[in-house]
Structure 1
């Protein structure tokens, strides 16, 4: 289990962090830009984009499952 070692408050688990991030997204306080959505079968293409071998669009690379 992941537990933070931050000095700025109580220790939090990964679940607590992910829950907070989900709340921020749901409230519209955290926004990301998705550049491309690829099926899981094309994960190799995502790796090529991350490595700079293939041109990556601006934004996040998302794999759908």
Structure 2
């Protein structure tokens, strides 16, 4: 996306957490929401990974909407 060419849709949350001076974020309001979730290889699941995944939804709140 840098070097002044390239386009990629991203959520408002992405802009909030990964803002860069060489990337211009252009909002569009007619697209469906982008949901995020945890993914990992099932062969790599451990009790620690499972505990982390189960804890996260209860300890986070949705990000406020950007205007």
For Structure 1 versus Structure 2, the TM-score category normalised by the shorter chain is under 0.3
Structure with bigger strand share is 1
TM, length-normalised to structure 2: 0.24
Q: Which has the higher contact order (CA 8 A, sep 6+)?
A: 2
